[in-house]
Amino acid sequence: MKISVLDIDTLGDDLDLTDVEGLGEVTVYPLTLQSEVKERIAEAEVLIINKVKLNSENLPYAKKLRLICITATGFDNVDINYCKEHNIAVCNVAGYSTDSVVQLTAAMAFSLCTNLNAFDSYVKSEAYTESGVFNCLKPVFHEMSGMTWGIVGLGNIGGKVARLAEAMGCRVLAYKRTPVDEYECVDIDTLCEQSDIISLHTPLNEETYHLINRERLSKMKKNTILINVARGAVVDEEAVTEAVISGGIAGLGVDVYSCEPMQKDSPYQSLLGRSNVIFTPHMAWGAYEARRRCIEEVVKNIKSFSQNGRRSRIV
């Protein structure tokens, strides 16, 4: 079985691929430009990809292709209809990064609620040393216990964040397409109006594009902390930037961007250096254990396919 891994560097350079190599003849590429795809897929029977786009322009060159394994939950980089029409199986990996994303969500919430960036800078600048005062209590911070934490998207990640919020003594509000009895489910506008912390864990689609827009930001409390670990375009980045600058919301945590990496013309560039803003480079999913788990799932998917199974099959 000829297997081509087209962009292993998107999963980090510290993963052991021994289990993949045990499945057949494996060719590994650090990254693959779109202009290189046609050549690199020509002889492959199995492709392992993350960010590479496979579509009707390049897939016809993969005459021997039987299976595409996506090292992610989303499959928008693959032309699913083409694969259906040409009997190419497609598998994704779901649930591998739940704990990793929840951990970053919590870290952002705790840091922003406690103004950790500001206090850290106060000490590192030696202002604390020079003050002669044994403590510093400004900017003022508040206990999370008693706050309302609004969770947009109550899947595996959102559900675990909800349990964490409850453990911290927060009231949990949830916005979910299909309400559940376990949590107080409300419409998105009510969630925006009542929440002190809002974390986003929803897929990007026509319904969620710019779900957090200028109008909904205007409904939020001035002490609201907004955290986006979902997809960049779930929020209107320009409107969010304006809300932070104007004091419409108190804090912002962002791991995902409408164009990645963050571009020079991104509205978020205006927020660089602000102590009440945390930017991370789309790494919430990427704890070592999560990435290792992802590879293990891909191996299981390939083994299942080779035995006529349908494990994790989208197509």
10-37 pLDDT per residue, tens: 999 899 999 999 999 999 999 999 999 9
Q: Kindly state which CATH superfamily the domain 98-279 is placed in.
A: NAD(P)-binding Rossmann-like Domain (3.40.50.720)
DSSP for residue 67:
E
Is the entire prediction scored with pTM above 0.75? Answer: yes
SS3 label, residue 279: strand
Q: Which residue has the tokens 């945390």?
A: 278
Give alpha helix (H) positions in 137-187.
156-167
**Could you read off the pLDDT of 253-291 as tens digits, one per residue?**
999 999 999 999 999 999 999 999 999 999 999 999 999
Q: Which residue has the tokens 């994790």?
A: 312
CATH (one of 3.40.50.720, 3.40.50.880, 3.40.50.2000, 3.90.550.10) for 2-96+288-306: 3.40.50.720
For the chain, the distance separating the N- and C-terminal CA atoms, rounded to the nearest angstrom, is 20
Return the H-helix or E-strand segment holding 68.
Answer: strand 67-70
Bridge partners for 26 per DSSP: 3
Domains 2-96+288-306 and 98-279 share a fold: yes
Bridge partners for 28 per DSSP: 5
Q: Which residue has the tokens 């800078």?
A: 121
**Could you read off the pLDDT of 180-207 as tens digits, one per residue?**
999 999 999 999 999 999 999 999 999 9
**Could you read off the pLDDT of 198-256 as tens digits, one per residue?**
999 999 999 999 999 999 999 999 999 999 999 999 999 999 999 999 999 999 999 99
What is the residue type of 184? E
| DSSP characters over 72-103 | SS--TTB-HHHHHHTT-EEE---STTHHHHHH
- 278: tokens are 């945390």
Q: Which residues are catalytic?
A: 231, 260, 282
Please say whether the beta carbons of 109 and 197 come within 8 A.
Answer: yes
**Could you read off the pLDDT of 78-137 as tens digits, one per residue?**
999 999 999 999 999 999 999 999 999 999 999 999 999 999 999 999 999 999 999 999
Task: Compute the distance between CA of residue 53 and CA of residue 220 in angstroms, rounded to an integer.
Answer: 37
User: Does 76 have pLDDT greater than 90?
Assistant: no
Label residue 74 by pLDDT band (50, 70, 90): confident
C-alpha of 170 from chain center? 23
CB-based contacts of 20, cutoff 8 Å, min separation 6: 3, 5, 26, 48, 295, 298, 299, 302
Task: Compute the distance between CA of residue 61 and CA of residue 85 in angstroms, rounded to an integer.
Answer: 15
- 210: tokens are 């710019």
Task: Compute the distance between CA of residue 160 and CA of residue 257 in angstroms, rounded to an integer.
Answer: 23
- 170: tokens are 């927060």
Return the H-helix or E-strand segment holding 269.
Answer: none
Instruction: Indicate the domain borders of the chain.
Output: 2-96+288-306, 98-279
